[in-house]
Amino acid sequence: ASQLRVTWKPWPGLPCTDDIEAALRANPATPRRLVDEGDVDGALATAPQPMQRTYLWPYQMHASIGPSCAVAHWHEDAAVPHRLTVWAGTQNPHVLRAELARLAGIEPVAVEVIRMEAAGCYGRNGADDVAADALLLSRAVGLPVRVQLTREQEHLWEPKGAAQWMTVRGGLAADGSVAAYDFATSYPSNGAPTLALLLTRTIDPQPHAFEMGDRTARPPYDYANLRVTVNDMPPILRASWLRGVSALPNAFAHESYVDELATAAGVDPVDYRLRQLQDPRARELIEATAAKAGWIAHTEPQRQPPTGDLLHGQGVAYARYMHSAWPGFGAAWSAWVADVDVNRVTGEVHVRRVVVGQDAGLMINPAGVRHQMHGNVIQTTSRALKEQVRTDAKTHVVASREWGSYPILSFRDVPVIEVVTMPRDDEPPLGAGESSSVPGTAAIANAIFDATGLRFRQPPFTAEVVRVALHGLPSPVGKGEGSERHCGEDDRRALRAPPSRPSPGGGRSSASSGRRAALLVAGALATVAALVGIRSTIAPVTRPDASMYTKETIERGRQLAGIGNCAGCHTVSGGASYAGGFALATPFGTVYGSNLTPDVDTGIGAWSFSAFQRAMREGLSRDGHRLYPAFPYTAFTRTTDDDLTALYAYLMAQPAVRNTVPETRLAFPFGVRPLMAAWNGVFLAPGTIPADPRRSAEWNRGAYLVDGLGHCGGCHTERNALGAEREGAARLAGAMVDGWEAPALTALARAPVPWTASAFYDYLRTGHSAQHGAATGPMAPVVRALGAAPDADLRAMATYLASFDAPVTDAWAIVASATIVANAGRSSALPDGTQRMFESACGACHHDGDGPRLLGVNIPLALGTKLHSDRPDNLLRVILEGVREPASREIGFMPAFAEALDDAQVIALARWMRQRFAPQRAPWSDLDAAIARIRATPTAH
């Protein structure tokens, strides 16, 4: 189902949603006059200072997310009281009941809706849609049917909070009072039907009856000449039912406009509001809130002297929120004073402090109300500064589908919140807490005006929007490369000047040209012998009894098998260990790992030690057929007899598993196994290599394990056209494996900090290093396998690997890491929507160490090789595929975003991360092709 791609035919009346104002203008509206008091037209005609303003409120993301699951049972038995029974997490059981009855063509009394109490949202949600789908399916099959959306579907398909377009015609009278207030608002009505009614054409997509919300269109002030018109319109996007759906947009328009009037009249904004209010409770609340906030009276934008790059401002807003359609019953009063800092360079707005006041009658649980108000302030501020609904320019549907991008302030950005409540112990409770969010967006907008002199009449007030307004220029991409010197590429090159020592391998040079020629001749003779039928078969033996080996030998074999990660290529997911069948993709075809268990028929139970030894060193099976070098015998050939004996003993001590693996068939001529004799003659140099007397015993032990049984070059070295590992400078210089980049282990590595022996040890032992990052992709199972290796062997491998780079101390590496992270932070790009996407989807776990550790290790991304590599593949794969099986549990898991983010979002995220965390590296090119390639070839890692 996830692969099904539906293309909808054009539907008249659904214009492009990128321009909300144009879309609202294009949709026919059904006007409804709510209030008409005084002589509005006459007052406007004679007003000396007429003012007309338009305010826009965009769609809200995830306006009514809820448990989108329902079960429907259609009863054919006429004796059953209810023809249809539905269990759903709906917020509107009565409305849903009526709609299901209409969909099924039955009376509402024949429908029973059992509301599940798990519903955690306001208004219309996906539970209503799946209930209608379940009804249609249940009626079709005659059985109870459950329909449930996935989390990604729920966030993609949930109705959004309605967009709203508000126009105010008014102005000042000669004495500075409000001459008239002509308010018109347009938005989709609350009655958004279930999709099944529309898709089955049971109803037409026409405006539906108002429920609640239009009552908030009336301003909270006492205007002598007042007109309020509400225009109902079809939804551009599917709109959600929200409690008081238009309360926030209307309050935003009312409070922004009255603030503009105060500035035009030259009156302090708090004083001007009080002049328009006769209600003593409203006046008392505004005065108490302003006093608590330390309100500074002013008649024009304060534009306080900046602190560095920060401009400071203070804004006020007030609202009366009606909990009921009947005035005088269920109302609450709320006021905000917000203090903001505006960065005049980046455009970032930080709400530093909010004093929120509320009068909602008796407070039954004052502490609980304060906590609810705190939550409302955080949510309102988050939405005002961050929330955007992105629509696809071609399909005009919601593209903001990522479940992790709910806009919420980070811990460091949460304002200081102070609460003012009015003591009303002699009155009934009037709905405390909820109304405290209503004035918030206007208060923030008014505070930004106070700081900058700029009016913003459409949220959100994102950094790029404010930045453009401040400078009158398009938002710059970021600081140019090279504008600031970093502890980056130049320093790294200086640190990595090749020391005076042998080439990679520590003196292990390739075979001389004479030896290579001799091997080639021998290989040619062996090929001729093989082609004429000469085969070297080692006779089968009775399955060896593992008890003939000591426990110490078997344990040592277990450790060696871990170093070689033998199970990695000889075990299928969910299968028995070492039973074979693992498919390894090569340029020549798929090679299947053989069965290494001691099963006599399908495994190596009939293999003598001599046969095992020959396979490991020469690439010859017991029956004489040639093995392909996907089995890395070119590295295993260096293993000593004692270690091969221990490994053989361990494998013979495993349970015998009968498992016939698929036959490996490679493309011609690579599938002609006898030709491997010539290949071996050129590329196989059998025999152990003596220790380097110039090096320590630990270094030599590490070289033996890395180049031998560990076969690190199998993944970290590019191969030539014949599948052999390249030599010389290419050795351990990095390669692509299974769609992942195995980075260079030499001085060619793109890691911003050179690897020390301690860092390598930490990485091999735990799967992560504080100066480099965590193991992902195919490296994660390698680290898990290395868990069997003793510390001494891992330290030896680390010592050997660290010798390929310039020697640095651990203390230097720590200081260099901190410098790189700090420089990357200073050279970060100017904030924009991609940064907010990163912060919401990634920032909780990935930060520069200045936030809490929530899940797993937090290694600053500026230190990771993924961001500094010439290829974006590893970063893109981690974003798309996540980290499902980490190398160790302490690393933590990461969700996959392949279904949550579209290609454009992933590309933008990768591009931003590269610029933010590796500013000295050139931008990646052709990310479109890279992500297309990766999506087409997902991996199991």
- Which band of pLDDT confidence, cut at 50, 70 and 90, is reported for residue 789? very high
Q: Looking at the predicted structure, is the pLDDT value of residue 328 above 70?
A: no
- Which band of pLDDT confidence, cut at 50, 70 and 90, is reported for residue 389? confident
Model pLDDT for residues 174-190, shown as the tens digit of each residue: 999 999 999 999 887 65
Model pLDDT for residues 857-905, shown as the tens digit of each residue: 888 899 999 999 999 999 999 999 999 889 988 888 898 988 888 899 9
- pLDDT at position 829, please? 74
Model pLDDT for residues 432-447, shown as the tens digit of each residue: 667 889 999 999 999 9
- Which band of pLDDT confidence, cut at 50, 70 and 90, is reported for residue 360? confident
End-to-end CA distance of the chain: 23
Q: Read off φ and ψ for residue 888, nearest 5 degrees.
A: -150, 155
Model pLDDT for residues 609-628, shown as the tens digit of each residue: 999 999 999 999 999 999 99
Q: What distance in Å separates the CA atoms of residue 703 and residue 798, rounded to the nearest whole number?
A: 10
**Alpha carbon separation from 157 to 170, 239, 407, 839 (Å, rounded):** 39, 11, 18, 23
Q: Looking at the predicted structure, is the pLDDT value of residue 485 above 50?
A: no
Percent of all residues in the chain with a pLDDT value above 90, rounded to a whole number: 57
By C-alpha distance, which of 697, 720, 574 is closest to 634?
Answer: 720
- pLDDT at position 92, please? 81
Q: Looking at the predicted structure, is the pLDDT value of residue 804 above 90?
A: yes
Give 473 or 487, the one with higher predicted confidence: 473
Q: What distance in Å separates the CA atoms of residue 599 and residue 576, rounded to the nearest whole number?
A: 12
Q: What distance in Å separates the CA atoms of residue 906 and residue 912, rounded to the nearest whole number?
A: 10
- Which are the contacts of 108, defined by CB distance < 8 A and separation ≥ 6? 97, 98, 101
Average pLDDT of the segment spanning 374-387: 92
Average pLDDT of the segment spanning 29-41: 85
Strands (E), 380-521: 416-421
- Which band of pLDDT confidence, cut at 50, 70 and 90, is reported for residue 498? very low
- pLDDT at position 242, please? 58
Q: Looking at the predicted structure, is the pLDDT value of residue 368 above 80?
A: yes
Give 513 or 771, the one with higher predicted confidence: 771
- pLDDT at position 31, please? 77
Average pLDDT of the segment spanning 81-101: 89
Model pLDDT for residues 560-578, shown as the tens digit of each residue: 999 999 999 999 988 999 9
Indicate left, alpha or beta for 727 from its phi (over 0: left) and psi (-120 to 50: alpha).
beta
* Structural contact between residues 847 and 858, judged by C-beta atoms closer than 8 angstroms: yes
- Which band of pLDDT confidence, cut at 50, 70 and 90, is reported for residue 330? low
Q: In what order do the strands lie in the sheet with 84-88?
A: 111-115, 84-88, 69-74, 145-148
**Alpha carbon separation from 320 to 102, 122, 178, 208, 251 (Å, rounded):** 37, 20, 19, 26, 9
Give 169 or 17, the one with higher predicted confidence: 169
Q: Looking at the predicted structure, is the pLDDT value of residue 913 above 50?
A: yes
Q: Looking at the predicted structure, is the pLDDT value of residue 83 above 60?
A: yes
- pLDDT at position 11, please? 59
- Which are the contacts of 841, defined by CB distance < 8 A and separation ≥ 6? 402, 404, 405, 897, 900, 901
Residue 520 tokens, joined: 């080639």
**For the CA atoms of 572, 578, 579, 582, what is the dihedral angle to 10 degrees?**
30
Q: How many CA atoms lie within 13 A of 110 on its CB side?
A: 19
Give the mean pLDDT of the chain: 85
| Collapsed DSSP state (helix, strand, coil) of residue 78 | coil
Q: What distance in Å separates the CA atoms of residue 304 and residue 310, rounded to the nearest whole number?
A: 9
Q: Looking at the predicted structure, is the pLDDT value of residue 167 above 60?
A: yes
Computed from CA positions of residues 872, 874, 879, 880, in that sequence, does the dihedral angle turn out positive or negative?
A: positive
Q: Read off φ and ψ for residue 774, nearest 5 degrees.
A: -115, 155
Q: What distance in Å separates the CA atoms of residue 558 and residue 583, rounded to the nearest whole number?
A: 23
Give 814 or 843, the one with higher predicted confidence: 814
Q: What distance in Å separates the CA atoms of residue 305 and residue 352, rounded to the nearest whole number?
A: 17
- Which band of pLDDT confidence, cut at 50, 70 and 90, is reported for residue 12? low
- pLDDT at position 326, please? 46
Average pLDDT of the segment spanning 305-322: 89
Q: How many CA atoms lie within 13 A of 741 on its CB side?
A: 23
Model pLDDT for residues 92-122, shown as the tens digit of each residue: 888 899 999 999 999 999 999 998 865 555 6
**Alpha carbon separation from 681 to 417, 515, 536, 618, 684 (Å, rounded):** 77, 10, 17, 10, 6
Average pLDDT of the segment spanning 490-516: 41
Average pLDDT of the segment spanning 475-501: 34
Cβ-in-10-Å burial (0-12, 13-18, 19+) of 5 comes to exposed
Average pLDDT of the segment spanning 313-328: 77
Please name the amino acid found at residue 408.
I
- Which band of pLDDT confidence, cut at 50, 70 and 90, is reported for residue 237? confident
Query: Which of the given ranges, 183-197, 291-305, 848-862, has the highest pLDDT on average?
Result: 291-305
